[in-house]
Structure 1
């Protein structure tokens, strides 16, 4: 892992960017996909065991996403005030405790609340991990490291469903939450060993709602930051349009088996991961905006072809498979690069900048997912329309940032 291609920041206490620190932050970014994807295959069993409807079980996923958004919105500013290390440890502890409650839950209501807390604490931890990187890296190195984190972290959405399915085959769905709790303990140990305090007291901002609002005004008043947040947020919306409806398009409409669908899903996630890793290698050699633009054009083209196939050819399997792969690979160029340039635009408020960015991305994810399914399970028109809209809005964001 090469981290020294650009000079890194160091604090007065000697904190610096290391391979162990980056590995730990990658570990933290796995919280959301693992806590979600390990659990999704168990939805039918959860409904049966807790005497709940499918809608009730889906609500536990929604509350998790809401918690993720709010956790990032609150965690970033708090860490700007209190420092990084202690709030990070508290967040991981809360996430592990909430996972234990999910594993022991007697009712769907208790699980819904516990999932919100799990998401809130997980989002809090993720945004602080990102802020630590922003504290210690700059320039091309910042872009490279954030792309590396996104690329390697992209393995989690591949492993999560497979691990969850294996747990269901061998044991009970509650074991998946025990697994997340154990991972939480491992994360705490990793933070204690590898993550120093990266924000010394002299660089911290005063607390309170007034300070948070003031910092929020600063980052939202930065046109470059807003533009790149739109770049990444719109791409995230298109991604979750795919996540929410691809199973219906490939299985219900084209007859793909669940196993074949899982293989295709993993392949698409691998494309996104490889694209992010390639972008990390190219940081400092090719303008990051150019890489984003390549991803946007590819995503827009995939959306147009997908919509044409849905309107006039009843969404052929080959069209869906190719368009999904192109769309997901393009996200590897758009989301991490857009996020990195947004963070670089507000170096004086890294926690608040990361918090606002993360909150907006997860709000986009939670909002788009149900909209993509409005047409039912036998049409890809709403999803393809959202793919086009996401790419188009992302292009607008790139233009705003450039101006």
Structure 2
């Protein structure tokens, strides 16, 4: 739901800005609100469901997300849109982390691996389908319809949960610690240097990624004249590049050190940002430069993000749930902070976006090479087999 709720209306950013009487930064703040809510929802939803159970909270969260999606669809102003997007993100993040907890509750061993791979496959398809579906909606109707589609999907999920999802966490397996226990475990994982380093790797890469997501519609449509359909096709192709790169990285796991794969991705992202900056400063951001740089950047994310997250989890094996929740929160908060900064230059310059991509890639490299620097060769290569 996260990529669908975002990518379906990304092609319509220029129209959203016009309809709600705001600028590029105002529209990008709706992304900030959504991702901030998503991060907080994931951070809170898991520990609370550990204490009170899964099914009831999952039903409530999907119902709230559905109502918030309707609020986005009918929002008369950018302020109301931001509030509705925050609530949509918070409920969606809450549902996301509880849904994954249900999977872990019900499946073990090889079955768990198969189910998690299916979830990952859906996660790779959604960023491809989302913008294309959004473009079709724009061609046939209005950008608000995309949020009605999300609302209908939210309602379908709520009904599916009510019919098919059992309570997967019996009372005897629940714990009373809730958020207090989570905070204590959070302090422990954040005290682990390698985990913090990989947290920086993944979070900074996410920041670079969403500098692209927030600004690419203005660069390709407003500055280079692409239609919403053409833009959506390019967006989907870039998402496919990211998915393919992640698949290649998965095949290389165990044969090539995971840190090396991440470093190659970081170099590619840094090169994409530098090319964009040169193109924006001296050549008015030619279309071919933007298309190539965007594809390289997105493909690089497939090498950095999943592997950085995997090494972060490997660094704190005693607290996998807490490590995952903190990682998700940091990534989504990074995704939320970047869009309004990327839009500071307005809708007719790519310079802020390029600077953010370069900065994100550089900070990600610091996380890998400095903060998460391994003590020895054996320690460096060991986690690669688990990715």
TM-score higher than 0.5: yes
Relative to 1, partners in 2 of residues 1:346 and 1:148: Cα closer, same or farther, differing over 3 Å? farther
Consecutive unaligned residues in structure 2, runs of 5 or more = 375-387
Aligned counterpart, 1:239? 209
Instruction: Using the TM superposition, give the Cα deviation of residue 108 of structure 1 relative to its aligned residue in structure 2, in angstroms.
Output: 6.0
Match of 1:163 in 2: 133
Alignment equivalent of 1:182, drawn from 139, 142, 152: 152
8 A contact 1:249–1:377 mirrored in 2 = yes
Q: Which residue of 1 aligns with 2:380?
A: none
Contact residue 6 and residue 31 of structure 2 kept, 8 A: yes
Whole-Å Cα distance in 2 between the matches of residues 394 and 137 of structure 1? Answer: 33
Alignment-derived partner of residue 53 in structure 1? 21
Distance 1:389 1:107, change over 3 A: closer
Whether 2:48 is the aligned partner of 1:88: answer no
Q: Deviations over 1:207-248 (max 9, x none)?
A: 354323212202211222222211111111111111222233
Match of 1:401 among 355, 365, 372: 372
Matched residue, 1:276: 246
What CA RMSD, in Å, does the superposition of the two structures yield over aligned residues? Answer: 3.4
Please, what TM-score do these two structures have when normalized by structure 1? 0.77
TM-score (norm 2): 0.80
Q: 1:257 to 1:115 in 2, by over 3 A?
A: closer
Q: Please state whether the residue corresponding to 1:337 is helix, strand or coil.
A: helix
* 1:342 corresponds to 2:321: no
**Aligned residue in 2 for 1:225:** 195
In structure 1, the residue matched to 2:378 is none
Give the Å deviation of 1:259.
Answer: 3.6
The partner residue of 2:86 within 113, 116, 126 is: 116
User: 1:355-374, aligned counterparts within 5 Å?
Assistant: 355-374=325-344
Deviations 1:58-92 (A, max 9, x none): 55443222211211121122234334444333322
SS at 1:155 equivalent: helix
SS of the residue 2:285 aligns to: coil
* Aligned partner of residue 372 in structure 2, secondary structure: helix
Structure 1 position 307, deviation (Å): 2.7
Q: Name 1:320's counterpart in structure 2.
A: 290
Q: How does 1:4-403 map to 2 (within 5 A)?
A: 31-41=1-11, 52-54=20-22, 59-103=29-73, 111-131=81-101, 149-150=119-120, 152-171=122-141, 173-188=143-158, 204-399=174-369, 400-403=371-374
Runs of 5+ consecutive residues of structure 1 not aligned to the other structure: 1-30
- For residues 384 and 134 of structure 1, do their structure 2 counterparts lie closer, same or farther at Cα, with a shift above 3 Å needed? farther
**1:103 Cα deviation after fit:** 4.4
Instruction: Provide the secondary structure at the position in 1 that maps to 2:344.
Output: coil
1:151–1:277 CA contact under 8 A, matched in 2? no
* 3-state DSSP of counterpart to 1:54: coil
Partner SS for 1:376? coil
Q: 1:177 to 1:121 in 2, by over 3 A?
A: same
CA contact (8 A) 2:37 2:90 kept: yes
For residues 79 and 346 of structure 2, what CA distance do their matches in structure 1 show? 27
Which stretch shows the higher mean deviation, 166-175 or 119-128?
166-175
Contact 1:134–1:350 at 8 Å: present in 2 too? no
Matches of 1:148 and 1:100, distance apart in 2: 29
CA distance in 2 between counterparts of 1:167 and 1:292 reads 37
**Aligned residue pairs: how many?**
369
On the 8 A contact 1:46/1:57 being kept in 2, the answer is yes
Asked if structure 1 preserves the Cα contact closer than 8 Å seen for 2:132 and 2:229, the reply is: no
Question: Cα offset for 1:196?
Answer: 6.5
Cα distance in structure 2, aligned partners of 1:312 and 1:214? 51
Deviations 1:322-358 (A, max 9, x none): 1211110010111122123323433443333222212
Contact 2:38 2:89 in 1 (8 A): yes
| Cα contact 1:85–1:195 (8 A) shared by 2 | yes
Distance of aligned partners of 1:57 and 1:384 in 2 relative to their CA distance in 1, 3 Å threshold:
closer
Q: Could you tell me how far 1:365 is from its partner in structure 2?
A: 1.3
Q: Is the 8 A contact 2:32 2:339 kept in 1?
A: no
The answer to whether the 8 A contact 1:44-1:54 is kept is no
How far 1:267 moved relative to its partner?
1.3
Per-residue deviation at 1:257?
4.1
